[in-house]
Amino acid sequence: MTVIEIPTDAYAAADWLAARHPWVRELVERIAGQIDRREDWLDVLTQAVNESDGDSAAWVEYERRHPAPADDEAFWEWHAQGPQPAPPVRAFGVMSGGEKRLIRLVATLGSRVPWSPAEVSFDQRGAAVLADWLAIVHAQLPASAYPAASDDALIVRLAAVSDATNGEVRAVSR
């Protein structure tokens, strides 16, 4: 039986998640740069997610006040005159819907971000990340929140989802 330690500190948990899932690391680094060089990468990620709604609203207002021209050359000039989000917000903004859902999930470890269970629509890689995210949440709750016989039962079941991606995990130590 393999026993792994799930970090309960949010930043250590985010590092653990990025280390276990190369896809998470790749997406995070598109927004925050190399995470090995940035201790604050989770803060950068969370800020990008939270500021993206404001950026979207700014573009809606800009387009309302200044409709986009039909001419290609004029369009790019018009676009350059529009709202200019910070580079991390821009990097998040151009991601696919699935990538954004995964980044939002990771960002929940850092701070409050808009996220809903309705956003749980992942492929196999995303499902493995979700299983590990749930393991992190489980590890952060006090042991008294669970009946004694079921403490690790949830994680053992969730680990089955993650096994194909990350290797076998059978128990979690708190």
Residues 129, 122 contacting (CB under 8 angstroms): yes
pLDDT in tens, 134-155: 888 878 777 676 666 555 665 5
Give 89's pLDDT tier (boundaries 50, 70, 90).
Answer: very high
Q: What is the pLDDT of residues 92-113, one digit of tens each?
A: 999 998 899 899 999 999 888 8
Can you give the pTM of this predicted structure? 0.75
DSSP string across 47-116: HHHHHHHHHHHHHHHHHHHSPPPSSHHHHHHHHHHS----HHHHHHHTS-HHHHHHHHHHHTTTS-----
Higher pLDDT, 141 or 65: 65
Give, in order, the Cα–Cα distances in Å from 15 to each of 64, 119, 160. Answer: 41, 22, 21
What is the mean predicted confidence (pLDDT) over 51-58? 86
